[in-house]
Chain A
Amino acid sequence: MHKVLSNKLAIFTFVFPGLAFFLFMFVAPVILSFYYSMTDTIAPGLDVNMVGLSNYTELLFHDERFWLSLRNAILLGLGFVLIQHPICIFFAIMLDRIGGKSEKWFRTIFFIPCVISVVVISRMWLTLLDPTFGMFNKLLSVIGLDSLQHVWLGDPNTALGSLLTILIWSGFGWGLLFYYAGVKGIPEDIYEAARLDGAVGFKLHWKMTIPLLKPVIAVQMTLAIVTALKQMETVYLTTNGGPGDSTQFVAVYLYNQAFAASQYGYANAISILFILVCLLATFVSNKLVKGDSIEY
């Protein structure tokens, strides 16, 4: 074995496929994208006119829509971290405690949104939230809260909030699944020992489960933030960034600039900045929840 690993050809053979994959599928497109971001081309394969860094200066200093879309993506990330994930953890612990048949039932039910296609989810929520025929407004009227009826996705004041709710709802199952697996991985005897020491109920989970879930939480936070930044399909299918840019997200904006506005060079500049933002967010979230590995 040692001999194999000291054989340069062998090392090359083992490393090369992975490296080649990384280079061609990730590095090369990014470099190409960077090249296009310095041009004003309107579509790939067309006349290329170098414009230097002007796309970037335009983007950083003159483009309100980009900053708005970035802000919305970050808000979504915060929504995931501060609202969705605590709920996921809570439900994961509850699910674990319920046990038996109902555990299986609820586990399946909670995971349903994750197996439904994004298109279906989007249409479903559009229908639910329809101001005139939607069930949500009807429900409000039935319980006597007519005054709260609203054009949820069509009003710039509530569109973003409604969209965040949809996204948090539809991503809930995944988060739950990971935390549930994490909770299941904690040995029962640790709990028993803790109970003997007098830890019960909320305190037990706050002091025991959550710290033990830290590695899962660390990974999940990073994933949540990156998912939020990359959010595209649901927004595109429900509001397409509207009304009036109020639900504009970076990925949707990027897509529309590239393919609706035919500003391919500019869209590539957005994508390069987008990569930087994602890397930065990953770095920061890793720093914030630096999980010490726990062995049990």
Chain B
Amino acid sequence: MSKPISKSLASAIALMVAVPVALTACGGNNNNSNSGAAATNSAAASNGSGESVTLRFFSNLPDRKSGQGLIEQTVIDNYVKENPNVKIEVEALAEEPFKNKLKAYMASNEPVDVTMVHFGAELGTLVSAGWIEELNPADYEGETYNFLPGVFKGFTFNDKLYGLPRNSDYEVIYYNKKLFADNGIKVPTTLDELFEASKAFRDKGIEPMSMNGKDLWSMAVMYQNIAQRLSGDQNSILDATAGTKKFADDANLLEAAKILKRFADEKVFNTAYMTMDYGASQNLFTQGKAAMWYMGSWEAGMASNESLPQEFRDNLGVIQFPTITGGKGIADDLIAWNGGGYALVKASKHPEEAKKFFDYMMRADQWAKIAWDTGAAVPAQKYELTGNETEVQKQLTDILLNAASTSGMTFNDAGTAAFKDASQNAVGKLLTSGSPEKFIEELQAAADKQ
């Protein structure tokens, strides 16, 4: 009896072992074949035989047909044309999913070759995870790259450079000229005028200012903007974040929180702002349903984006964040930073090929030039005026050239990722249910924890 049993037992065991193996093999199939192919590729590449290499590129620009996504794709296409042996696989996700997946890639040490990164806290996490390749700043000096001074700040950790910025970012208010003109409302230059304009728009049934409140960060930047307009001091809030002073030391920070709360109380933001993400808030504005949009210079491309209505593009204007009566900040003070950029990934299977492509992309005649020529963004590198600039580009250039001071960082990105999460959450609470005093306490508690 025992013999036949052990025979069937053996086959049972074989089956039990085989099934999971088969299952895992199915699941892991893609990875296995990829890594196998990748390994041969890298070997071929290092032999210099020019055999095909596939690079993985991870981006936060899912729209590859317009705006910054188009620039990115154009640079990639240019490179592939010049280097027919290289194939570049693009994976692009919208902003928030991108950030989440990037962390997952970091955690699993995914062999991406080049990735888009956000400065400050976000990149800081990736760097401390050892996922990002260090760069030599000397490689990027000189005319080939032409970076503007001071733009590496948010990409530098412990005096080491880990990425290169793609844009000069600064917060402005985009506005719809037609909505202002048709309703006889003055384009605001002071905070009081902004509140008046909002009230007038509300009375007409038009949303005054679109805001991506669900993402929280743009309201945090607005808070910094208000605080700067009050104190005239770009560094106060950054010092408090860094812990060299307290948030309560600067009375303007509390006052700014009160003013930001007024934005919500006086219904300056669109009604559903707390559930609106980036895309939804942009749609509200580009469809002419909201008169203003508080957003960064990287949206310059709206003016030349042909998928948007002609009427909207003709009526798109840019203003600086309003000044506050009695405040020390002037309109030319800018909340400016270099937020988006690119970095090389250490886990890359083709580090040399990846760096070649990366260097090519960051050349002044690639991303920077194409970005400016297509009007999609304001680069972090020197660019030449072509004479074909859109009105919006001209206005944005003026704002940047005339800047009396720049912040260099946004406070919510200037600390750790935990600080970013806590401070942005505090902003959300302030606007909906919390008090300004509690808000300052929460910011302090978040800064103390760093």
Q: Does A187 contact B (CB under 8 A)?
A: no
Q: Contact between B100 and A131 (Cβ–Cβ < 8 Å)?
A: no
Q: Contact between A261 and B432 (Cβ–Cβ < 8 Å)?
A: no
Q: Does A7 contact B (CB under 8 A)?
A: yes
Q: Contact between A257 and B275 (Cβ–Cβ < 8 Å)?
A: no
Q: Does B140 contact A (CB under 8 A)?
A: no
Residues of B within 8 A of A115 (CB): none
Q: Contact between B418 and A262 (Cβ–Cβ < 8 Å)?
A: yes
Number of residues on chain A facing chain B (CB within 8 A) = 40
Residues of B within 8 A of A46 (CB): 128-130
- Chain A residue at smallest Cβ distance from B429: A244
Q: Of B270, B417, B432, which is within 8 A of A132 by CB? A: B270
* Most B-side CB within 10 Å, residue of A13, A132, A154: A154
> Distance in Å from the Cβ of A37 to the closest Cβ of chain B?
16
Q: Contact between B12 and A42 (Cβ–Cβ < 8 Å)?
A: no
Q: Of B100, B104, B270, B275, which is within 8 A of A238 by CB? A: B275
The A interface, classified by DSSP as helix, strand, loop or mixed, is: loop
Interface residues of A in 242-278 (CB under 8 A from B): 242-246, 256-257, 259-263
Number of residues on chain B facing chain A (CB within 8 A) = 44
Assembled-state Cα–Cα distance A127/B157 (Å):
43
* Most B-side CB within 10 Å, residue of A9, A10, A238, A262: A262
Assembled-state Cα–Cα distance A238/B270 (Å):
17
Q: Of A3, A126, A130, which is within 8 A of B1 by CB? A: A3
Q: With A43-B107, A46-B130, A262-B416 as known contacts, state yes or no: A154 contacts B5, CB within 8 Å.
A: no
Q: With A151-B271, A244-B432 as known contacts, state yes or no: A45 contacts B129, CB within 8 Å.
A: yes
Q: With A42-B125, A42-B128, A262-B103 as known contacts, state yes or no: A243 contacts B1, CB within 8 Å.
A: no
Q: Contact between B128 and A242 (Cβ–Cβ < 8 Å)?
A: no
Assembled-state Cα–Cα distance A46/B99 (Å):
18
Q: Does B193 contact A (CB under 8 A)?
A: no
Residues of A within 8 A of B95 (CB): none
- Chain A residue at smallest Cβ distance from B17: A17
- Chain A residue at smallest Cβ distance from B100: A259
Assembled-state Cα–Cα distance A256/B416 (Å):
14
Q: Of A42, A45, A239, which is within 8 A of B214 by CB? A: A239
Q: With A10-B5, A126-B275 as known contacts, state yes or no: A260 contacts B421, CB within 8 Å.
A: yes
Q: Does B21 contact A (CB under 8 A)?
A: no
Residues of B within 8 A of A260 (CB): 99-100, 417, 420-421
- Chain A residue at smallest Cβ distance from B434: A244
Q: Does A168 contact B (CB under 8 A)?
A: no
Residues of A within 8 A of B13 (CB): 13
Q: Contact between A243 and B271 (Cβ–Cβ < 8 Å)?
A: no
Residues of A within 8 A of B270 (CB): 132
The B interface, classified by DSSP as helix, strand, loop or mixed, is: helix
Q: Does B109 contact A (CB under 8 A)?
A: yes
Q: Of A7, A42, A155, which is within 8 A of B129 by CB? A: A42
Assembled-state Cα–Cα distance A137/B104 (Å):
39
> Distance in Å from the Cβ of A199 to the closest Cβ of chain B?
49
Residues of B within 8 A of A44 (CB): 107
Q: Does A153 contact B (CB under 8 A)?
A: yes
Residues of B within 8 A of A130 (CB): 272
Q: Of A3, A9, A261, which is within 8 A of B421 by CB? A: A261
Assembled-state Cα–Cα distance A159/B416 (Å):
30
Assembled-state Cα–Cα distance A277/B110 (Å):
34
> Distance in Å from the Cβ of B95 to the closest Cβ of chain A?
12
What 1/0 flags go to A60-88 for Cβ under 8 Å of B? Answer: 00000100000000000000000000000
Assembled-state Cα–Cα distance A50/B165 (Å):
35
Residues of A within 8 A of B428 (CB): 242-245
What 1/0 flags go to B180-222 for Cβ under 8 Å of A? Answer: 0000000000000000000000000001000001101000000
What 1/0 flags go to A1-38 for Cβ under 8 Å of B? Answer: 00110010110010011000000000000000000000
- Chain B residue at smallest Cβ distance from A17: B16
Interface residues of B in 116-163 (CB under 8 A from A): 125, 128-130
Assembled-state Cα–Cα distance A156/B207 (Å):
20
What 1/0 flags go to B92-119 for Cβ under 8 Å of A? Answer: 0000000110011011010000000000
Interface residues of B in 1-54 (CB under 8 A from A): 1-2, 5-6, 9, 12-13, 16
* Most A-side CB within 10 Å, residue of B129, B274, B430: B274
Q: Contact between A154 and B274 (Cβ–Cβ < 8 Å)?
A: yes
Assembled-state Cα–Cα distance A257/B421 (Å):
8
Residues of B within 8 A of A262 (CB): 103, 125, 416-418
Residues of B within 8 A of A256 (CB): 421
Q: Does A39 contact B (CB under 8 A)?
A: no
Q: Contact between A243 and B274 (Cβ–Cβ < 8 Å)?
A: yes
Q: Does A240 contact B (CB under 8 A)?
A: yes
What 1/0 flags go to A114-135 for Cβ under 8 Å of B? Answer: 0000000000001000111000
Q: With A44-B107, A260-B417, A262-B417 as known contacts, state yes or no: A245 contacts B272, CB within 8 Å.
A: no
Q: Does B173 contact A (CB under 8 A)?
A: no
List 7 A-B residue pairs with CB atoms under 8 Å apart, sorted by A's residue number.
A43-B103, A153-B275, A155-B274, A256-B421, A260-B417, A261-B422, A262-B418
Known: A7-B5, A242-B275, A262-B418. 16 other contacts (CB 8 A): A13-B12, A42-B128, A42-B129, A43-B103, A43-B129, A46-B129, A243-B433, A244-B425, A244-B428, A244-B431, A244-B433, A246-B432, A246-B433, A256-B421, A261-B417, A262-B125
Taking Cβ atoms with an 8 Å cutoff, the residues of B that contact A are: 1-2, 5-6, 9, 12-13, 16, 99-100, 103-104, 106-107, 109, 125, 128-130, 207, 213-214, 216, 270-275, 289, 416-418, 420-422, 425, 428-434
Taking Cβ atoms with an 8 Å cutoff, the residues of A that contact B are: 3-4, 7, 9-10, 13, 16-17, 42-47, 65, 126, 130-132, 151, 153-156, 159, 238-240, 242-246, 256-257, 259-263
What 3 A-B pairs have minimum CB-CB distances, sorted nearest first? Answer: A261-B421, A244-B429, A262-B417
